[in-house]
């Protein structure tokens, strides 16, 4: 066998393949189950290094192309939607704040009116008590029962 044939037939374990690809063993087993990778042996499961390297190259190219296309979509579109959501949320909060301020002003006006009304009623009460005192006959002491 030549050196080239030997490199193609180099066999690695699942653990080595997972670390080479930068994925978990579980993901690697899923790739095997889906038919993306084909094991050389079942027990212990082994893979051809050339096949793992091919997958690594494919994965790298896919990630790079995904990064270029989806990064702009993923980062810009959600930012725009997030920004519009935040703006609408801020508008809602602003409306709630202004309605709460209006309600506060109404309550303060009502409070001022009621406090004025209380003071007015207290003055009336004092005046009525004084009037009642003036209208009542002076109290007689107990020993003055014969006076009229």
Q: How far apart, in whole angstroms, are the C-alpha atoms of residue 68 and residue 62?
A: 10
Residue bearing the bigger pLDDT, 39 or 76: 39
Whole-number pLDDT of residue 55 = 80
Bridge partners (DSSP) listed for residue 39:
47
Q: How far apart, in whole angstroms, are the C-alpha atoms of residue 57 and residue 51?
A: 10
**0.85 exceeded by the pTM?**
no
pLDDT tens readout for residues 30-68: 888 888 888 887 777 888 888 888 887 777 656 555 555
């Amino acid at each position: 066998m030549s050196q080239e044939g030997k490199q193609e037939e180099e066999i690695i374990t699942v653990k080595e393949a997972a670390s080479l690809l930068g994925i978990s063993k579980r993901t690697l087993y899923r790739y095997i189950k889906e038919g993306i990778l084909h094991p050389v042996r079942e027990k212990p499961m082994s893979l051809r290094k050339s096949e793992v390297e091919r997958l690594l190259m494919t994965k790298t190219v896919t990630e790079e192309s995904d990064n270029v296309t989806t990064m702009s979509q993923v980062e810009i579109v959600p930012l725009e939607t997030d920004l519009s959501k935040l703006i609408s949320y801020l508008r809602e909060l602003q409306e709630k704040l202004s309605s709460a301020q209006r309600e506060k002003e109404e309550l303060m006006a009502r409070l001022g009116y009621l406090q004025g009304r209380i003071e007015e009623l207290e003055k009336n009460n004092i005046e009525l008590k004084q009037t009642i005192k003036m209208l009542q006959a002076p109290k007689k002491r107990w020993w003055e029962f014969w006076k009229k």
